[in-house]
Structure 1
Amino acid sequence: MIDPRIKLRHLTCFLEVARLKSVVNAAEVLNISQPAASRTIQELEQVLGGSLFDRSKRNLFLTPFGEVFYRYAATSMAALRQGIDLARGTHEAAIVRVGALPTVSARILPSAVQAFTATGSGVHTRVVTGPNDYLLTLLRTGDVDFVIGRMAEPDVMLGLSFEHLYSERVVFVVRPGHALLSERSFDLSMVENYQTLVPPPGSVIRRLVERMLVANGVTELRDEVETVSNAFGRAYVRQTDAIWIISEGVVAEDIADKHLMLLPVDSSETTGPVGLTTRTDMVSTLAAESLKQAVRDAAASLR
């Protein structure tokens, strides 16, 4: 028997605090007071007999004890939500929810969704985009059925499975007519003289980019703008001299149409696997499997 002192409100509050790393923000989302949220977490810790969060920093982070409980609590809540939706035959049961990095949203997902829709199954598709860590959180809590993106670090992949689809590098792009395009002896250090658009800290490719820049003697980028918005990046670079450091898939069509141009940077060391991430403890619906196959078919042309 599960300890009857553990209520649904305990699990819901715990998962929100873990997701947002803040009791205040979780309380706002749950529409309860901050003291009530804090009390709920304390009650849960007393029942479990251990601290769930490290409170020594500004943001709350899960303790090792909390990490273990989080994986099982998230899985349980996701399974319960799925069971309720299927039993009720609700609208949510007729939706395949996919989390996708901006790069795959632009490169392979449109053709995959088009092919999936053409099957006439009547199942709708919900696409959620964002950074990798955010999407994996949604996967663990059951808010998406699977994620398409870069493979995360091994310590993050516990309880998750990765299926490789293709590999992708990071590129440096500028507007047509940019001064650096006419440099006969281009060197990566020249990017220090221009404003740069970069992915935010914590993203998978940010670490790869930083490692590459340091290896080539670039110690500081000028006037960094951190963004995950493709629309902003595309518009900003086309009207300024800024350099956009981004996954190739995001700008592949812009480069093919010559709306953006590649700088002659050897970025092969940033190449990494892109694929499907799923939970090992959940059985996919037939519709989710059908969309995953459409994604595989779309990605096959990139190999």
Structure 2
Amino acid sequence: MNTRIKLRHLQAFVAISRLRSFKHAAKQLFLTQPAISRTMAELEDIVRCRLLVRDRSGVELTPQGAFFLSFADATLSALERGISGIGDFANDSGLHLRIGMQASVAVRVMPMVTAAVAQDTKDLRLSLVEGAHTDLVTRLRDGQLDVVLGLQGPPESMGDLSFTQIYTEALVIVAAPGHALQNRPELQKIIDWPVIYPPPEDPIRPAVRRFLVSAGVPLPPMRIETSSFAFGLSRTLEGGALWIAPQGLVAPYVARGDLIQLGIDMSSTAGPIGLMSRAGEDQTLTARLLLPILRDCLSDESSG
């Protein structure tokens, strides 16, 4: 290995490659733009080739840069996992699994999973992080998470990740009890109401858009774009608004009668929910432990 390559070279290269911007990468790494530019120049001098090129649209990887990125990324991820593992040994805390989860998984699945872990695997410590798809897969790539549970993202966000499907989940439209559409649910009429709608970065948005287009329904003009579960629930319970959400996210509130699900068939929006991990690695201990627990919990849910 070339001993001239330092950690700061790899951090700068990976950050610029992901963000496609020297400016944003410098901000993320708490560097000045001249400093990060010098660091990249040093790295390109060491490897004796151009890794990045700038153009009007931003920063692009050269073929050599694209090849080198996977190795630089894997090196940083491995180092992060090693540091985390040392911390676990020092604390004598047993096995530590760091799980990222999207909101519908947090509501529907993880309570059952954590109960099963507490009963059957007492020396296993879980750290759970809830978030949006983009943030969670970034943390997964950085080695801050071992796996992510949630809806499979678009192809461009999954290129260096593997995905194991566990179940499928459709979207539903919910409202507060007594809503005017409760007894006469007509999809075309949702545009007459405020609609809590997934933002562009939410992986369910394409499915929602396809569903509406196929039904000849335009984008709701009074839509509120957010992935916030807390806001979606609070605003819907106030009355008047409609909420397009994953079924598992709102099912407990529908079951208790806090929300009502409109009788509109959205089965065509069903998407794969599963376990995401870093591609190119052997199946992690996390995956080997989690998959049977997840499947057992979902099997018990279905039979119950």
- TM norm. shorter chain > 0.5: yes
Residue matched to 2:68: 69
Residues in 2 aligned to 1:52 and 1:169: alpha-carbon distance in whole angstroms: 41
Q: Which amino acid aligns with 2:261?
A: L
Residues in 2 aligned to 1:45 and 1:258: alpha-carbon distance in whole angstroms: 61
Map 1:88-99 to 2 at 5 A. Answer: 89-91=89-91, 94-99=95-100
Q: Note if contact 1:165-1:300 (Cα within 8 Å) is conserved in structure 2.
A: no
Q: Note if contact 2:161-2:279 (Cα within 8 Å) is conserved in structure 1.
A: yes
Residue matched to 1:182: 183
Matched, 1:172 2:173: yes
Percent identical pairs in the alignment equals 35
Residues in 2 aligned to 1:215 and 1:61: alpha-carbon distance in whole angstroms: 37
Q: Give per-residue Cα distances to partners, 1:138-164, cap 9 Å, x unaligned.
A: 222211111111223345434432222
In structure 2, the CA distance between the partners of 1:302 and 1:18, relative to structure 1 (3 Å rule), is farther
Residue matched to 1:143: 144
Residue matched to 1:243: 242
Map 1:259-274 to 2 at 5 A. Answer: 259-274=258-273
In structure 2, the CA distance between the partners of 1:254 and 1:280, relative to structure 1 (3 Å rule), is same
TM-score scaled by length of structure 2 = 0.86
Q: Note if contact 2:94-2:125 (Cα within 8 Å) is conserved in structure 1.
A: no
Matched, 1:52 2:56: no
Q: Give per-residue Cα distances to partners, 1:201-229, cap 9 Å, x unaligned.
A: 13221011111111111222123222221
In structure 2, the CA distance between the partners of 1:181 and 1:258, relative to structure 1 (3 Å rule), is same
Q: Note if contact 1:175-1:238 (Cα within 8 Å) is conserved in structure 2.
A: yes
Q: Note if contact 1:166-1:302 (Cα within 8 Å) is conserved in structure 2.
A: no
Describe the SS at the equivalent of 1:180: coil
Higher mean alpha-carbon deviation, 115-124 vs 257-266, is at: 115-124
In structure 2, the CA distance between the partners of 1:236 and 1:36, relative to structure 1 (3 Å rule), is same
Q: Note if contact 1:199-1:206 (Cα within 8 Å) is conserved in structure 2.
A: yes
Please list every run of 5 or more consecutive structure 1 residues that lacks an aligned counterpart in the other structure. none
Please list every run of 5 or more consecutive structure 2 residues that lacks an aligned counterpart in the other structure. none
CA RMSD of aligned residues (A): 2.7
In structure 2, the CA distance between the partners of 1:300 and 1:61, relative to structure 1 (3 Å rule), is farther
Residues in 1 aligned to 2:19 and 2:257: alpha-carbon distance in whole angstroms: 40
Residue matched to 2:105: 104
Residue matched to 1:83: 82
Matched, 1:192 2:191: yes
Q: Give per-residue Cα distances to partners, 1:115-169, cap 9 Å, x unaligned.
A: 1133354332111222223222222221111111122334543443222211100
1:276: Cα distance to partner? 1.1
1:108: Cα distance to partner? 0.3
Q: Note if contact 1:172-1:262 (Cα within 8 Å) is conserved in structure 2.
A: yes
Map 1:253-264 to 2 at 5 A. Answer: 253-264=252-263
Residue matched to 1:220: 219
Describe the SS at the equivalent of 2:277: strand
1:106: Cα distance to partner? 0.7
Q: Which amino acid aligns with 2:52?
A: L
In structure 2, the CA distance between the partners of 1:76 and 1:176, relative to structure 1 (3 Å rule), is same
Q: Which runs of 4+ in 1 moved over 6 A?
A: none
Q: Which amino acid aligns with 2:56?
A: S
Residues in 2 aligned to 1:207 and 1:301: alpha-carbon distance in whole angstroms: 31
Residues in 1 aligned to 2:301 and 2:50: alpha-carbon distance in whole angstroms: 48
Q: Note if contact 1:147-1:276 (Cα within 8 Å) is conserved in structure 2.
A: yes
Q: Which amino acid aligns with 1:63?
A: L
Matched, 1:163 2:161: no
Q: Which amino acid aligns with 1:141?
A: D
Residue matched to 1:277: 276
Q: Give per-residue Cα distances to partners, 1:33-55, cap 9 Å, x unaligned.
A: 23322332343345452343665
In structure 2, the CA distance between the partners of 1:231 and 1:15, relative to structure 1 (3 Å rule), is same
Residues in 2 aligned to 1:70 and 1:241: alpha-carbon distance in whole angstroms: 49
1:62: Cα distance to partner? 5.1
1:13: Cα distance to partner? 2.3
